[in-house]
Structure 1
Amino acid sequence: MNTIRRERRQGPQLLRGEMVPDSTHDQRLLDRRGPADWLHMDPWRVLRIQAEFVEGFGSLAELPPSVTVFGSARTKPDSPDYELGVRLGAALADAGYGVITGGGPGCMEAANKGAMEAGGISVGLGIELPHEQSMNEYVNLGVEFRYFFVRKTMFVKYSCGFVTLPGGFGTLDELFEALTLVQTRKVTSFPVILMGSSFWGPMVDWIKSSLLGEGKISPQDVDLIRVTDDVDEAVRIIVEADRRREQEASLVGDAQ
């Protein structure tokens, strides 16, 4: 004797027997009762991640050419590094660039301050952290993110170069990710500048002696890093890279 098996089509799925749930997706969607564990499940996180990308792209799409400035959140307002950040932000704004930072205090605040006071566009891309870190007061366009990798995408997508002031683990993470993207040609004509030769010099020496010396990187990889103490030189490097990119794009267009 044949038994009737329960069967339900559920989107692209065909469910039979014990696999058929007791309620439909619509019923579960419209029923407000029950636990809220679904808010923390991976499928819902995917939608939140998607929403962050959409929000970021929508907020930043109309930015002018911009430069991302990284640096320590622990830098004090009366320190030389802070003053350097202010001068850098102002010089970038005067050259027609928007200034993007992580939106926090320290070196980030300094670059935002310089850009805003020079009449430029000052952007902060904040991140949710266990300890409170509010957007600094010198940001005139701020976007908050839950996920580091979404935020990092925005730093790269909407920048034509990185300038890195002295900083800690977070700054190093952002620096080496930028170098990896340039090294692997995921981004092109993308200058990476370290400001503060006394701070960065020992690290650059180690890169040359250990990484290059032991064959972990190629000689040309060392040239991806530019070190300077001169704000005007940093801006000039970015402007020259922009011009090369425009020339290359023009040549490609002519060839087509």
Structure 2
Amino acid sequence: MSDEGISQPGTGYRKGPVLLRRGQIPEQTTDQRLLSKDGDADWVHGDPWRVMRIQSEFVEGFGALAELGPAMSVFGSARTKPGTPDYELAVEVGRLLVEKGYAVITGGGPGIMEAANKGASEAGGVSVGLGIELPFEQGMNQWVDLGVNFRYFFARKTMFVKYASGFVVLPGGFGTFDELFEALTLVQTHKVTEFSIVLVGSDYWTPMLEWLRGPVLARGMISAADIDLVKVVDTAEEAVEIVVGRDRELRAAQVEALAELEAAQDAAAGRVSDERNAS
């Protein structure tokens, strides 16, 4: 997903499974109501029901994506126009990921998201969109084959991370930064496996990395190793090679670890059997 401020008349406002248009569009999003501190005590009665709704979003998301298979998340701006270099680059990323055997997950909106979904769909792969309720009409782009709409950002962001084996990030604004640093924090703190995070477009991302290597690192806010968690490339081929290569390394290591565990368990079982026979 990413950026805010996009209006596409006719696509409608998604509120969970409900589609609203024109005068039916509410002034507040579900997130705004959840986080509102309006001073009354209605939350005492309403919040337990909100918890059930939040739970249902996780259940619906898990159910829809449980059999997705290997997948990569692609982030970038909703404002990127078709035909621009960034748009075409995202199309290529989506296509190459499918050719490597991966589904493509985006925020389901226009711009970079639409482009990555387009590349994945045209290549015959699974094109996933994780939509979000917003106070303007955005809607799911036409290239999404499997779409899930969310009321809450935090539920949606969990799906981006849970079902992805890597992250490809193209130029974007606040929404893209949010998704990038969310993934980076989870990898840095070992809350998730150390998947690859690849930034595409050195001209766009280098100033941010220079800031991280400069005052942020100098003040001890991060370590030098943290910056190495992010790779910067300029082509779709490089981005896909990195995320796919890292995923295959992790899968091979997992298979090897399981084999070693099984061997150790078999050896332990053999020793127990020998001890029993000896007694």
Same topology, TM > 0.5: yes
1:248 aligns with 2:253: yes
In structure 1, stretches of 5+ residues that fail to align are 1-36
Alignment of 1:139-158 (within 5 A): 139-158=144-163
How much does 1:113 deviate?
0.4
Task: Give the secondary-structure state (helix, strand or coil) at the position aligned to 2:198.
Answer: strand
Percent identical among aligned pairs is 64
1:72 aligns with 2:77: yes
Deviations 1:128-156 (A, max 9, x none): 00111110000000000000000000000
Moved over 4 A (4+): none
How much does 1:214 deviate?
1.9
Alignment of 1:84-123 (within 5 A): 84-123=89-128
Aligned equivalents of 1:170, 1:136: Cα separation in 2: 17
Aligned equivalents of 1:181, 1:60: Cα separation in 2: 20
Matched-pair contact (CA < 8 Å) for 1:189–1:244: no
Matched-pair contact (CA < 8 Å) for 1:189–1:242: no
Aligned equivalents of 2:251, 2:101: Cα separation in 1: 16
Aligned equivalents of 2:112, 2:247: Cα separation in 1: 24
Identify which of structures 1 and 2 has the higher relative contact order when contacts are C-alpha pairs closer than 8 Å and 6+ apart: 2
Q: How many residues align?
A: 220
Aligned equivalents of 1:55, 1:138: Cα separation in 2: 21
Partner of 2:210: 205
Task: Give the secondary-structure state (helix, strand or coil) at the position aligned to 1:162.
Answer: strand
| CA RMSD, 1 decimal | 1.5
Among 164, 173, 178, the alignment partner of 2:169 is 164
Aligned equivalents of 2:97, 2:260: Cα separation in 1: 33
In structure 2, stretches of 5+ residues that fail to align are 1-41, 262-279
Partner of 1:126: 131
Among 166, 170, 179, the alignment partner of 1:174 is 179
Matched-pair contact (CA < 8 Å) for 2:109–2:138: yes
Deviations 1:175-208 (A, max 9, x none): 0000000000011131101001101110011111
Aligned equivalents of 1:242, 1:84: Cα separation in 2: 22
How much does 1:242 deviate?
1.4
What code does the residue aligned with 2:116 have?
Answer: A
Task: Give the secondary-structure state (helix, strand or coil) at the position aligned to 2:199.
Answer: strand
Matched-pair contact (CA < 8 Å) for 2:71–2:102: yes
How much does 1:245 deviate?
0.9
Greater radius of gyration (CA): 1
TM-score by length of 2: 0.76
